[in-house]
Amino acid sequence: MKELTAQTLFQLSTVTNPVVSPNGKEAIIVVTNLDEQEDTYQAHLYVIDIKTGKQTKLTHAKGKHIAPQWLPSGDGFTYLSNRKGKNQVFLKQGMTDAKQVTNEEHGVLSYVLSPDGTRIAYSAFFKESEENEPDRKPEPLVIDQMKYKSDQRGLHDDRVMRIGSIDLATDNQQWLTTDYYDSQLLDFSGDSRHVLFASDRTENRDFSFSAHAYLINIDSKQERQVTKEACVITGGAVSPDGQTIALLSHRREYENATLPKVILYRSGTEETDLTANVDAFIGDIAIGDFLQHTGSNRLRFSDDGQSLYTLVSSKGSVNIWKFSLNGDHQQLTNTDAHINGFDFHQDEFIVTHSSVVEPSECYRVNHTEKTLSRLTSFNAAFEESFHVSVPEKVKLNRDDGSFVEGWLMKPAFYKEGQQYPLILEVHGGPHAMYAHTYFHEFQLLTAKGYGVLYTNPRGSHGYGQAFVDAVRGDYGGGDFQDLMDILDDVVKTTNWVDESRLGLTGGSYGGFMTNWAVGHTNRFKAAVTQRSISNWISFYGVSDIGYYFSEWQIKAELDEMETLWKHSPIKYVADVETPLLILHGENDLRCPIEQAEQLFIALKRLGKQTRFIRFPEANHELSRSGKPSLRVKRLEAIFGWFEKYLT
């Protein structure tokens, strides 16, 4: 078996976003690969015969071809493609070349195909009177609002996210929303005449984080407001008969730590919470470093409109659940893995599925036995050629009923009787969930001779509302204790761990925790902090989410400097004795690079052992969707630092 390396990324495929044909005999999937030569990503559509597993490639032009949707006739499909630059919707029927349907200057963000297949609704950024001259001079950006930038979008201008529609037969295009408010596309109605969307229309949106849902008639442009109270809306669906609307939403009872709920809206009746008795995250919240184009957080009505299907994240696994409109609920799959996408025909479910040893493949679900039958083998060569480490579940139970859960990975070429260094990995969020999913960084470290411990401390999703809320206002307190306690337990109960060679790394919140830990303990021999937070006072004003995230998470406003400083790792920089590597993206607006700059200068000023690596053209998503060459260099930097200090 070969040793896995950072470059092995280029030999892996992720299979995601399955959509089943109207007759239930075929499914289209998205297969994504990293292109080493072009230093980008290639995503192509394949159609699979569900019975035989035979697969045929549908797209061939370079680029990303994603988000497929079958025409109801089954004789064609629509999809998003950047083959001509920006993402546009294309229609493919028969043997002719795909037809470009949209022509939006800034590309299409998302789209839905109407149930009758006659039109699409889509979302795109729009700006009035935009000049297109190639020699246009740069203009200063005038800012009047606090929400003027985001890590995904960059600096905002006057563009607004509109919803448009196009008749596929006539190519007639029209805008359904025209106000100066961003609109989030959710679903088409069963009669193909109405579009469900969400929009925040408050005057001052700097302190507004909720929206209302609306149903708009495509022909008359008449709107009906669905929600009585504003809420955070992350998904939505309309029943086939149009009488019921389901929203994946919440009312910020615990700010951004609030579990989403499936809420029903029916004319003349009170709202119904279908998930009132489910203390779990509705949707896919699993953390990984490889999956692309999943399209997983969606609600789907059953064909008879009496049930809803969605993914649910719990205790490191992501499975399909069924919520009946009568209040019953049922878990339809029972896998210790990560189902990242699904579709169905009648009772036949097709899923894309990742496990700790498998990047992602397509499976058919046995509805009766809740087992999976594999349909694709895009990663067969990887599975046959490379040795990977299979995690063992670890759990620390305390006398007071509290607990910490995680997974321990042995070095890939482990030999009984030898001792090995161990690296503790801390996820971001903090409201996320390490899961039974493929993590290339972890496998690389085990291939290089390290054990890896990754856990879900308090603040993580997957263990209920109280658990995820427990970190707010206590950063560096109970969460840090959770990590140290489970590390102590693993060291105590595992004879192959060399306690003198412990490493630590994490990104975002995990970077904060890395910074915090090295200022409060000297037990780690080396650490790597990534896209981190070091100073909550400056973070308040420079992050795209700072001014409200700090209030939600640290529970301190800007005039509460003592509290912000108390939770800032840079306060404790004089106590740092651990060699610390600092990794940060130049274009990170979530945790801006000034956070890394402050930490590096403070450490160097005191003569501490540190190094700072800046990644150009990289935002907060470097480790997951950044330029492939930079992702490889990041992994090599992490391994190189640990190799220097732990071997």
Please give the single-letter amino acid code of residue 345: H
Helix (H/G/I), strand (E/B), else coil: 193: coil
How far, in Å, CA of 65 to CA of 82, rounded?
Answer: 7
**Partners of 239 in the β-ladder:** none
CA dist 164 and 403 (Å) reads 49
128-136: which pairs have CB atoms within 8 A and are 24 or more residues apart? 128/158, 130/105, 132/105
**Strands laid side by side in the 223-225 sheet:** 183-188, 194-199, 212-217, 223-225
Q: Nearest 5°: phi and psi at 568?
A: -90, 120
CB 70 within 8 A of CB 79: no
Coil/strand/helix, residue 537: helix
- Which residues, other chains included, contact 393 with Cβ-Cβ below 8 Å and sequence gap of 6+? 405, 406, 407, 408
Interatomic CA distance for residues 318 and 433, integer angstroms: 10
350, HSE (Cβ side, Cα atoms, 13 Å): 27
Catalytic residues: 508, 620
Helices (H), 27-157: none
The residues near 135 (Cβ < 8 Å, ≥ 6 apart) are none
C-alpha 111/C-alpha 195 separation (Å) is 11
What is the DSSP-derived secondary structure letter of residue 527?
Answer: E
Residue 514 is which amino acid?
A: T
**Are 601 and 632 spatial neighbours (Cβ–Cβ below 8 Å)?**
no
Positive or negative: CA dihedral 180, 184, 186, 188: positive
Q: Both tokens of residue 570? A: 């840079």
Q: Which residues, other chains included, contact 12 with Cβ-Cβ below 8 Å and sequence gap of 6+?
A: 33, 34, 290, 359, 379, 382, 440
